[in-house]
């Protein structure tokens, strides 16, 4: 028995991706663009569950033995049901691009966990079930994506600790620019790990510096100091490059965003594709200049304010 409807947020990591896997802090914001998942009974309750998300080109049957990662992840979440579940058609609507570093997989697994547990479920239970699915996509998720997908808002997150809500002192004018290059989070987490294992004495301080950038960034967010936050975006992009998770395309996009008046720009999420995150400037034509700088990429503007 599934509940009929559930929602989850998308997420954008403001600062701290990759280092968060190793226990350093990160700060992320829920996006209003997320997923709405609806369940309706199939004509025969013995039929396998189907999952259709047209926006992500997904049309799957969820049955044991499927080797599709989305099917396997969903089955991990559904394993939290009491007893086997069949006989449902799941339909998802989303305005998030999939596999772009905006938390699409966490949004899906969180919404599915809410179909299982219902609207009154605790966030911790939902996050735990979502994480069982996220582990299929990448072996050692920090849990940040699931937490933000379930909770929304702006959160300071450290693996294994309760998150802290951050109240921005001034609205954050975020501009998310999809590179159009899909990538796998698991591969990117592995690239970072391999660099850390190869050169621990050099790369460990890079992770520590990212954690410091997060703490300084939270201070800047709380005090509405967007100029400092912009500088921290640029610093973080360089540090992520040192972890081997940027790419020539993302580096070019970051330079183009700065040239178009952004206060700072960095990759967001796993990197090597996915999205660029720019902090827009305060000129009246700031959004128009960023849009003009990326004529084919459809930047998404999100103002994150105290809720
Ligand atoms: C992926 O959205 C964020 C990473 O830090 C991985 C994780 O936190 O599990 C790259």
Q: Return the pLDDT at 74.
A: 96
Question: Please, are residues 240 and 266 in contact by the beta-carbon 8 Å criterion?
Answer: yes
What percent of the chain has pLDDT above 90? 89
| Ligand 1 closest atom vs CA 271 | 10
Question: Please, are residues 249 and 180 in contact by the beta-carbon 8 Å criterion?
Answer: no
- Cα gap 230→25, rounded to integer Å: 18
Q: Return the pLDDT at 222.
A: 98
CA of residue 8 to ligand 1 center, whole Å: 18
CA of residue 84 to ligand 1 center, whole Å: 31
- Show the tokens assigned to 83: 């007893």
Query: Does pLDDT of 127 surpass 90?
Result: yes
- Show the tokens assigned to 18: 């990759």
pLDDT interval class at 138 (50, 70, 90): confident
Pairing, β 264-268 against β 164-165 = unpaired
Closest CA to 286 of 177, 175, 182: 175
Domain boundaries, the chain: 5-165, 172-304
Please return the burial class of 168, using the count of CB atoms within 10 Å of its CB with bins 0-12, 13-18 and 19+: buried
- Cα gap 23→55, rounded to integer Å: 34
Closest CA to 91 of 43, 45, 50: 50
CA of residue 271 to ligand 1 center, whole Å: 9
Residue-level length of the chain: 307
- Show the tokens assigned to 182: 């899909």
Closest CA to 155 of 6, 301, 11, 8: 11
| Ligand 1 closest atom vs CA 145 | 2
CATH architecture for the domain at 5-165: 2-Layer Sandwich (3.30)
Superfamily for the 172-304 domain: GHMP kinase, C-terminal domain (3.30.70.890)
Q: Is 145 one of the catalytic residues?
A: yes
pLDDT interval class at 183 (50, 70, 90): confident
CA end-to-end span of the chain: 34
Site to substitute for ligand 1 among 11, 12, 18, 207, most atoms within 8 A of C-beta:
18
Which residue's C-alpha comes closest to atom 8 of ligand 1?
Answer: 142
CA of residue 18 to ligand 1 center, whole Å: 5
| Ligand 1 closest atom vs CA 13 | 2
| Ligand 1 closest atom vs CA 192 | 10
CA of residue 270 to ligand 1 center, whole Å: 6
Q: Residue 168: helix, strand or coil by DSSP?
A: coil
pLDDT interval class at 256 (50, 70, 90): very high
CA of residue 145 to ligand 1 center, whole Å: 7
Which residue's C-alpha comes closest to atom 2 of ligand 1?
Answer: 269
Query: Does pLDDT of 100 surpass 90?
Result: no
Neighbouring-strand partners of residue 92? 37
Query: What is the rounded average pLDDT of the residues 84-107?
Result: 92
Point out the catalytic residue in the list 59, 145, 227, 256. 145
Site to substitute for ligand 1 among 11, 12, 13, 148, most atoms within 8 A of C-beta:
13
The angle subtended at Cα 114 by Cα 144 and Cα 130, nearest 5°, is: 35
| Ligand 1 closest atom vs CA 16 | 5
Query: What is the rounded average pLDDT of the residues 57-69?
Result: 92
Q: Return the pLDDT at 231.
A: 98
Q: pLDDT tens for residues 235-253? A: 999 999 999 999 999 999 9
- Count Cβ neighbours within 10 Å for each residue of 249-262 and write b for 16 or more, e otherwise: ebbebbebbbebbb
- Residue 8 phi/psi, 5-degree rounding, is -150, 155
Which residue's C-alpha comes closest to atom 9 of ligand 1?
Answer: 141
What percent of the chain has pLDDT above 70? 100
Query: Does pLDDT of 99 surpass 90?
Result: no
**Other Cβ atoms within 10 Å of 58 Cβ, number:** 17
Query: Does pLDDT of 84 surpass 80?
Result: no
- Cα gap 246→251, rounded to integer Å: 7
Closest CA to 141 of 182, 184, 196, 183: 184
Neighbouring-strand partners of residue 34? 9
Helix runs in the chain, H state only: 69-78, 104-117, 123-137, 144-151, 185-198, 200-222, 226-242, 248-259, 286-293
Site to substitute for ligand 1 among 20, 107, 143, 184, most atoms within 8 A of C-beta:
20
**Residues near ligand 1 (Cβ within 6 A):** 13, 17-18, 20-21, 101, 141-142, 144-145, 185, 189, 269-270
CA of residue 99 to ligand 1 center, whole Å: 12
Rounded to the nearest integer, the mean pLDDT of the chain is 95
Query: Does pLDDT of 156 surpass 90?
Result: yes
Q: How far is CA 279 from the centre of its chain?
A: 17
- Cα gap 94→101, rounded to integer Å: 15
Q: pLDDT tens for residues 4-32? A: 999 999 999 999 999 999 999 999 999 98
Q: pLDDT tens for residues 208-231? A: 999 999 999 999 999 999 999 999
Q: Return the pLDDT at 139.
A: 79
Query: Does pLDDT of 307 surpass 80?
Result: no
């Amino acid at each position: 028995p599934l509940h009929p409807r559930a929602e989850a947020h998308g997420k954008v990591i403001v600062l701290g991706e990759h280092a968060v896997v190793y226990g350093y802090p990160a700060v992320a914001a829920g996006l209003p663009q997320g997923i709405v998942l609806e369940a309706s009974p199939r004509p025969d309750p013995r039929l396998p569950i189907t999952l259709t998300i047209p926006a992500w080109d997904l049309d799957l049957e969820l049955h044991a033995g499927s080797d599709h990662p989305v099917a396997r992840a969903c089955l991990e979440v559904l394993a939290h049901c009491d007893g086997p579940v069949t006989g449902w058609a799941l339909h998802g609507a989303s305005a998030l691009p999939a596999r772009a570093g905006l938390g699409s997989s966490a949004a899906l697994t969180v919404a599915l966990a809410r179909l299982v547990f219902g609207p009154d479920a605790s966030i911790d239970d939902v996050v735990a079930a979502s994480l069982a699915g996220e582990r299929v996509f990448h072996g050692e998720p920090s849990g940040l994506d699931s937490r933000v997908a379930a909770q929304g808002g702006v959160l300071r997150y450290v693996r294994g600790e309760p998150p802290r809500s951050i109240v921005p002192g001034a609205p954050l004018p975020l501009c998310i620019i999809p590179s159009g290059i899909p990538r796998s989070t698991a591969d990117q987490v592995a690239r970072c790990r391999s660099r850390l294992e190869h050169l621990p004495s050099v790369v460990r301080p890079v992770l520590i510096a990212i954690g410091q950038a997060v703490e300084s960034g939270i201070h800047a967010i709380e005090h509405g100091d967007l100029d400092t936050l912009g500088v921290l975006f640029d610093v973080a992009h360089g540090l992520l490059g040192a972890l081997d998770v940027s790419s020539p395309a993302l580096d070019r996009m970051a330079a183009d965003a700065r040239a178009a008046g952004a206060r700072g720009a960095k990759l967001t999420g796993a990197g090597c594709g996915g999205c660029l995150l720019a902090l827009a400037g305060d000129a009246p034509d700031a959004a128009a200049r960023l849009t003009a700088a990326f004529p084919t990429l459809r930047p998404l503007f999100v103002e994150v304010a105290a809720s």
